[in-house]
Structure 1
Amino acid sequence: MIDRLDPLEAAKEIEGSYKRYLKTLLAPRDEKLATSFDAEVDSSDLLTKGPILEMTPPYATGATCRELIAEGVLHPGFAALDSAALPLDQPLYIHQEKAIRKFVAGRNLVVSTGTGSGKTESFLIPIINHLIAEHAEGRLGPGVRALLLYPMNALANDQLKRLRALLGAVPEITFGRYTGETAEDLASAEAKFLQTNPGATRLPNELLSRQEMRSAPPHLLLTNYAMLEYLLIRPADLDLFDGPNAGTWRFIVMDEAHVYDGAQGTEVALLMRRLKQRVAPESALQCIATSASLTGSVRNDPRGEAMQFAANLFDAPFEYRDDDSARQDLVEPVRKSHLTASQWRLSDDDLLAFRRGALDSADLTPNGADVAAALSTEQSIVALKEALSSGPVQVRELRELLWPDDPQSTEKLDALVELGSSTLDDSGHPVLSARYHYFVRATEGAFVSFNEDGPRIFLG
């Protein structure tokens, strides 16, 4: 192919460059040891791993927000949020829809889906819906309703941008970020806003300064756990938790919850207990944790472990019953399934011609068929998807599976992946959504073993 990175060739170049670097860096002065060292570096399979191919099929879609409004799951006033930031007629992912339904039903939740899967919408949509319903009933006064807790300020700042795009149409819902970066007074905060957001107009419902948030606490409060610790003990911030605007807390959202393990996890868990005792001693706050990897860190009982982790972190009930979908507080992604293979299979010559740039994807399909539709059921692509359905696989294993004992199997696999990933279906998703991984391991040095057969070098 032309003008693109060849991932398999790139992997070879990376491995070769790294091994040449090690030979130069750690070369022994003794000639025999140097020869032995070079041979060990060349033959070692500990230094690199891969390339590995992973399939990332698109998430399956479900109902739209407009359909949830019509069904009564969302408040009719939620229709005001229809915009480019949240198109009400765009189907939600099934895991988003499931999370919204469970959240509205009052369940504590763990949303464990991948990066870019829309975890934010899974909790923002129902929280904003709750605030819209409060406003419609005339009960939406100042006071925190939801705490959005982030492990890093950068994540809180990203969420701030998302809220600005979403809440412009509902000025009655206020939000604010209270971190170490938040200015004390309004004048300083506005100057900082203009400096970091040139050309932007401040929304009237975004509280920029600490003074604003103390006098009229925002409905959505964004912070990190270290700042929350300070807020709970500083007299100046008492009005966020006590006073005339207290008693309004309803939700705690903890983003990237998997980072709170070990000593830090214990600290945050105790912080949650102090917070709940302070703001809702007689009632239960609804708790939501999001993570891209929470269920992937354990092997035996990932769902049970995730529920126990969340229960310990929030001091709140979480459960997962296999036989009762209403009592499943873990929301996991649902991927689109691949289609059954047709009778059509790409010829080896066509694959290699595509790789050289001699043929376009449109030239490969039989009888002028739609390219994406034809490739979705092409035998080689379906076989590749089936091989990857249970997880990432080494490229060398895939080559042997699809083209056993074929000296050109590397080129054919590269062409097949490129063809599938560059061809989009009607929904804008690749026919084959996949990515390569390649790992390089740092060595701790080289070690010599002296024995009767002579010295032997080992890599650390």
Structure 2
Amino acid sequence: MDVFDFRNRVVEDYGAYVRSFITIRDERVHQKVKEEMEGGFLWPAPLVQLNPSFQDGDRLKNLVAEGLLHPECLKIFRAKQEDGASGPPFQLYQHQVEGIRAAAAGDNYVLTTGTGSGKSLAYIVPIVDHVMRRGSGRGIQAIIVYPMNALANSQIGELEKFLHRGYPEGQPPVTFARYTGQESAERRAEIIKDPLDILLTNYVMLELVLTRFGHNEEQLVSASQGLRFLVLDELHTYRGRQGADVAMLVRRARRACRADRLIHIGTSATLSSGGPWPQQQAEVARVASGLFGAEVKPDRVIGETLRRATKEADLTDPSFRVALADRVRSGTAPSVLQDFLADPLSSWIESTPPIGCSASGA
């Protein structure tokens, strides 16, 4: 696939969709809007860059050896294929390990790391560990709340990989279900009759579960007594009036479930504000504490730790300059990842700030 061609086709299709809603009678305004849209106002040009990698944390087997995680986690959290084949246990990132340790300490925490950083594992691993230790089939032990059903749908697929593959059909070590408006009345009735360990829902449906009558949903509340985890995914979406509604929902859920030892978890890629990291932690902790109605300590606001993707090189070293010049003249590019990361041109690109920027990225 030519990713740039694919991007252009997506932009063209989306542009046609957006323009179908726009009717501007004033020709000057129409021309200005047309120029801005054609210039990429709504869709910037593609960006190609070398991003630092997320810093590795402790290996899963080390956390098990430490007693921090249940031994079954080694079998659950690994790459698995549909045919049953599986790879080694996951190498966790530093921020995922920090989330696991926060949960083990019984602390509320917020992950504010980049897209693709595996934020969901930072709460799925502790939840699965808790269920394995306490025992499956003892009621709803975690509720994960998403702002959109599409996110819940995506998470269901990931949980199926972890908890279904490698186990006999119908015998996962930890059970889970999605309970939203997408499910049929029959499926919702099944979940109510036999609540599972983990419930994935959205904030509107959770509100209905707590407030409406005549659907037997009070059985879900009864099954959630002593709830241990309440996760709010995409925390930044809960602002203004909606944020106030969700804040009250969290409090009602905690009270209805008699969750005296509830661990509140939030995730977001875009919560951090400007300023030094300790200042960002304090601000995010303040906002999250207000939303949860429970304290989030600033040091439990977990950000990403990055490392270089390529080898660090001395740009003033004559031998490196010769290798870089030869690489540029060759006109070829590595096709294997490890060769690409060791390429002198790759090292030079990651070490050299763009024109107009300082080395600190300002």
Q: State if a TM-score over 0.5 links the two structures.
A: yes
Larger-Rg structure: 1
8 Å Cα contact 1:143/1:248 also seen in 2: no
Indicate yes or no: 2:280 matched with 1:267.
Answer: no
8 Å Cα contact 2:334/2:340 also seen in 1: no
Indicate yes or no: 2:152 matched with 1:176.
Answer: no
8 Å Cα contact 1:96/1:121 also seen in 2: yes
SS at match of 1:303: helix
Indicate yes or no: 2:226 matched with 1:231.
Answer: no
TM-score by length of 2: 0.75
8 Å Cα contact 1:66/1:88 also seen in 2: no
Residue 16 (structure 2) aligns with: none
Q: What pairs with 1:348-367 in structure 2 (closer than 5 Å)?
A: 351=328, 354=331, 359-361=332-334
Residue 324 (structure 1) aligns with: none
> How far is the alpha carbon of 1:360 from its aligned partner?
4.7
Indicate yes or no: 2:190 matched with 1:219.
Answer: no
Judging changes above 3 Å, is the alpha-carbon distance between structure 1 residues 57 and 280 closer, same or farther for their aligned structure 2 residues?
same
Residue 157 (structure 2) aligns with: 161
Give the one of 229, 232, 239 matched to 1:254: 232
8 Å Cα contact 2:207/2:249 also seen in 1: yes
In the TM superposition, what whole-angstrom CA distance separates every residue of 1:78-134 from its partner, at most 9, and x where no partner exists?
334255348553311111122112211211110111111111111101110110011
Residue 287 (structure 1) aligns with: 264
TM-score by length of 1: 0.60
In the TM superposition, what whole-angstrom CA distance separates every residue of 1:384-441 from its partner, at most 9, and x where no partner exists?
32344xxxx5xx547xx99xxxxxxxxxxxxxxxxxxxxxxxxxxxxxxxxxxxxxxx
Letter of the aligned partner of 1:62 in structure 2? G
Give the one of 53, 64, 77 matched to 2:72: 77
Cα distance in 2 for partners of 1:52, 1:84 equals: 29
Indicate yes or no: 2:350 matched with 1:385.
Answer: yes
Residue 304 (structure 2) aligns with: 333
8 Å Cα contact 1:77/1:133 also seen in 2: no
Residue 143 (structure 2) aligns with: 147
Judging changes above 3 Å, is the alpha-carbon distance between structure 1 residues 81 and 381 closer, same or farther for their aligned structure 2 residues?
closer
Number of matched residues? 313
Cα distance in 2 for partners of 1:120, 1:103 equals: 13
Letter of the aligned partner of 2:202 in structure 1? N
In the TM superposition, what whole-angstrom CA distance separates every residue of 1:164-222 from its partner, at most 9, and x where no partner exists?
1111236252211111111111xxxxxxxxxxxxxxxxxxxxxxx11122122221011
8 Å Cα contact 2:79/2:88 also seen in 1: no
Q: What pairs with 1:415-426 in structure 2 (closer than 5 Å)?
A: none
8 Å Cα contact 2:50/2:350 also seen in 1: yes
Residue 61 (structure 1) aligns with: 56
Letter of the aligned partner of 1:289 in structure 2? G
Give the one of 284, 297, 308 matched to 2:286: 308
CA RMSD, Structure 1 to Structure 2 (Å): 3.5
| Percent identity between the two aligned chains | 32
Cα distance in 1 for partners of 2:3, 2:78 equals: 36
Letter of the aligned partner of 2:198 in structure 1? L
SS at match of 1:132: helix
> How far is the alpha carbon of 1:308 from its aligned partner?
0.8
Cα distance in 2 for partners of 1:219, 1:48 equals: 42
Cα distance in 2 for partners of 1:141, 1:116 equals: 32
Cα distance in 2 for partners of 1:372, 1:54 equals: 13
SS at match of 2:247: helix
Give the one of 183, 188, 205 matched to 1:210: 188
Indicate yes or no: 2:106 matched with 1:112.
Answer: no
8 Å Cα contact 1:246/1:279 also seen in 2: yes
Q: Give ranges in structure 2 of 5+ residues lacking alignment.
A: 13-24, 81-85
Residue 83 (structure 2) aligns with: none
Letter of the aligned partner of 1:240 in structure 2? L
8 Å Cα contact 1:298/1:305 also seen in 2: no
Cα distance in 2 for partners of 1:48, 1:272 equals: 36
8 Å Cα contact 2:141/2:224 also seen in 1: no
